[in-house]
Amino acid sequence: MTETLEWKDIAFLREVERRSGTPVSACFQCHKCSTGCPIGAEMEFLSSQIMRLIHLGEEEKVLKSHSIWLCASCEACTTRCPMGIDIAGVMDILRIMAVERKLTDPRTRGETFHRSFLSSVRRHGRVFELGMLTAYKLRCADFLTDLDKAPKLWAKGKLSLLPKRSADVAEVKEIFRKAEEEEKNR
Ligand code: SF4
Ligand code: SF4
């Protein structure tokens, strides 16, 4: 049976294409992106399924999905796509759209994690893991989840008590300022 797309459906596809600058409609479901995704096993929708749902105009299903927040932006999918679709870029735009439309799923705490990560990078010019994790835990009011991993991280030197400020912190702040300005003018 042939699927018929209505105007509303096309509007979502067009918006994602315009804002990500990549031709999502060129996806022909080869699944090369999904088979190379390191987070695929944890996702409710694989990247190729996200592309198909966008084709079908399933805006709410896509924007409410915790898959878009689990994406680690590693770009393996983008590199593997034979159609040159920047899938990682699409995931970025979907997260922005989910926040704008207040459709983020509180179960995943994805938005909270991203905010904690970005404010750490903005302040120090790079991520300060201990500060970022403390801010994240405070925002979630959850101090126990994953606490057992702390000693291992500490032993491997992945956590330091004091932030190591980047020499380019002013430049990083300027990048944030420009990104916010661009976002306002969209
Ligand atoms: S960018 Fe995201 S969707 Fe793509 S392979 Fe990496 S984790 Fe998976
Ligand atoms: S690799 Fe590209 S064409 Fe293939 S399913 Fe993924 S997005 Fe679609």
One pLDDT digit (tens) per residue for the chain, 186 residues: 456 666 667 999 999 999 999 999 999 999 999 999 999 999 999 999 999 999 999 999 999 998 999 999 999 999 999 999 999 999 999 999 998 998 887 667 778 888 888 999 999 999 898 888 888 888 888 888 888 888 888 888 878 888 888 888 899 999 999 988 887 776
> What is the per-residue pLDDT for 5?
65
**Centroid of chain to Cα 121:** 16
Query: Measured from the CB, is residue 46 less than 6 Å from ligand 1?
Result: no
Which one of 2.102.10.10, 1.10.1060.10, 1.10.940.10, 3.40.50.80 gives the CATH number of domain 7-100?
1.10.1060.10
What's this model's pTM, rounded to 2 decimal places? 0.79
Residues of the chain with CATH 1.10.1060.10: 7-100
> What is the per-residue pLDDT for 171?
93
Q: Which long-range contacts (CB under 8 A, 24 or more apart) does 35-39 make?
A: 35/80, 36/76, 36/77, 36/79, 36/80, 37/76, 37/77, 38/72, 38/74, 38/76, 39/70, 39/71, 39/72
Return the SS3 of 9.
Answer: helix
Query: Measured from the CB, is residue 104 less than 6 Å from ligand 2?
Result: no
Query: Which ligand has its closest atom nearest to the C-alpha of 48?
Result: 2
Q: For residues 39 and 24, give the distance between their C-alpha atoms in angstroms, rounded to a whole number.
A: 21
Give the HSE-up count for residue 152: Cα atoms under 13 Å, Cβ half-sphere.
4
